[in-house]
Amino acid sequence: MTRIRQTSTRLADGRELVYFDDAGTAERARRADERALDPRPATPTMRFDALSAEWITVATARQSRVHLPPADADPLAPQSAGNPSEIPDDYDVAVFENRSPSFGPATLDDVPATVDDEGAGEPAVGGARPAVGRCEVVAFSPDREGSFGSQSTLRARTVVEAWAERTRALSAVPGIAQVFPFENRGVEIGVTLHHPHGQIYGYPYVPPRIRRIAQSVEAHGGDLFAEVLEGERNGPRVLLEGEHFTAFVPYAARWPVEVQLMAHRQVADLAATTPAERDELARLTLRIARGLDALYDAPLPYIAGWIQAPVDAHRDDIRLTWHVTSPRRAADRLKFLAGSEAAMGAWVGDIAPEDGAARLRDAIARADEQRPVEALPWPEVQHA
Angle formed by the axes of helices 275-293 and 353-370, nearest 10°: 100
The backbone region for 24, taken as left when phi is positive above 0, alpha when psi lies in -120 to 50, beta otherwise, is: left
In sequence order, the 6+-apart residues with CB closer than 8 A to the CB of 305 are: 180, 181, 182, 183, 322, 323
Residue 251 in contact with residue 237, Cβ under 8 Å?
yes
What's the rounded Cα separation, in Å, for the pair 297 and 13? Answer: 43
Rg (C-alpha) for the chain, rounded Å, is: 21
HEC assignment per residue over 85-154: CCECCCCCEEEEECCCCCCCCCCHHHCCCCCCCCCCCCCCCCCEEECCCEEEEEECCCCCCCCHHHCCHH
Give the HSE-up count for residue 335: Cα atoms under 13 Å, Cβ half-sphere.
23
In sequence order, the 6+-apart residues with CB closer than 8 A to the CB of 90 are: 78, 142
3-state DSSP: the chain helix, strand, coil percent, rounded to 5? 30, 25, 50
Per the residue annotation, which of 67, 194, 195, 197 is the catalytic one? Answer: 197
What's the rounded Cα separation, in Å, for the pair 95 and 163? Answer: 9
Active site residue 323: no
Residue 376 in contact with residue 282, Cβ under 8 Å?
yes
Helix, strand, or coil (residue 195): coil
CA distances from 308 to 111, 317, 349 (A): 26, 10, 25
| Residues with active-site annotation | 197
